[in-house]
A and B are shown apart, each in its own frame.
Chain A
């Protein structure tokens, strides 16, 4: 059974960089698939942040592209999100998910982790 688990600081100061990691179990990242980050601000809907392929190619939401970096570490079977210059608007529950290589949906998700941006 594929499982994804997000981890990282729950509190980040404004203007700093948010860093999260998604540990994958039950499947080897290097075997394929795209790996995604998605977030949900309080009281709002989901927002796709971006995808990374096991080979390292990335695709980002145009509205976040200038601040986002998603990378993969196949040796640790995990992938990461970095979001720079955060503001209160970046406060959200952040989810990691898996996307089949040749399909356009997300078949496995983590439970999410709340990140609050506040001084």
Chain B
């Protein structure tokens, strides 16, 4: 298992849309419809933002959306807000009841 590849950082101005990519292989991201995304503010518990590639848990803003194409999953944040500034991690099911996380992306609101 190798960590999924994410850009180290992505930035945008308030109100803009940004996209965070998450690239894996056909053994994880490309092979299953089980990609999830987590928002992490340092010192706090990570928060589930997207699951099963595109689904949003109750209470998560509809400004967050997910998609997947081949071996790459993406998280889009539209209408960027100051409170969205955080680290974001993707996670994929990797078969045989195992999971692999991404390298993490720091989202900065300019």
Q: Which residues of A contact B (CB under 8 A)?
A: 4, 38, 44-48, 51, 59, 61-63, 95, 97, 103-112
Query: Across the interface, do A111 and B44 meet the contact criterion of CB distance under 8 Å?
Result: yes
Bound: A12/B104 CA distance, A: 27
Query: Across the interface, do A48 and B45 meet the contact criterion of CB distance under 8 Å?
Result: no
Bound: A109/B41 CA distance, A: 13
Q: How many residues of B contact A (CB 8 A)?
A: 28
Residues from chain B with Cβ under 8 Å of A106 in the complex: 36, 38, 46, 48, 91
Cross-chain contact of A46 among B45, B51, B97, B101 (Cβ < 8 A): B101
Q: Known contacts being A38-B101, A104-B36, A105-B91, is A45 close to B52, with CB within 8 Å?
A: no
Query: Across the interface, do A95 and B46 meet the contact criterion of CB distance under 8 Å?
Result: yes
Query: Across the interface, do B104 and A45 meet the contact criterion of CB distance under 8 Å?
Result: yes
Q: Known contacts being A105-B34, A105-B91, A107-B57, is A59 close to B97, with CB within 8 Å?
A: yes
Residues from chain B with Cβ under 8 Å of A45 in the complex: 3, 6, 89, 101-104
Interface residues of B in 20-36 (CB under 8 A from A): 32, 34, 36
Residues from chain B with Cβ under 8 Å of A59 in the complex: 96-98
Query: Across the interface, do A47 and B101 meet the contact criterion of CB distance under 8 Å?
Result: yes
- Further contacts, 20 of them, CB under 8 A, given A59-B97, A105-B51: A45-B89, A45-B104, A46-B91, A47-B101, A48-B91, A61-B1, A103-B51, A103-B52, A104-B32, A104-B99, A105-B34, A105-B48, A106-B36, A106-B38, A107-B48, A107-B51, A107-B57, A108-B45, A109-B46, A112-B45
Give the shortest distance, in Å, between A23 (CB) and chain B (any CB). Answer: 14
Could you show 8 A-B contacts with beta carbons less than 8 Å apart? A38-B101, A45-B89, A46-B46, A48-B99, A103-B34, A103-B51, A104-B51, A105-B34
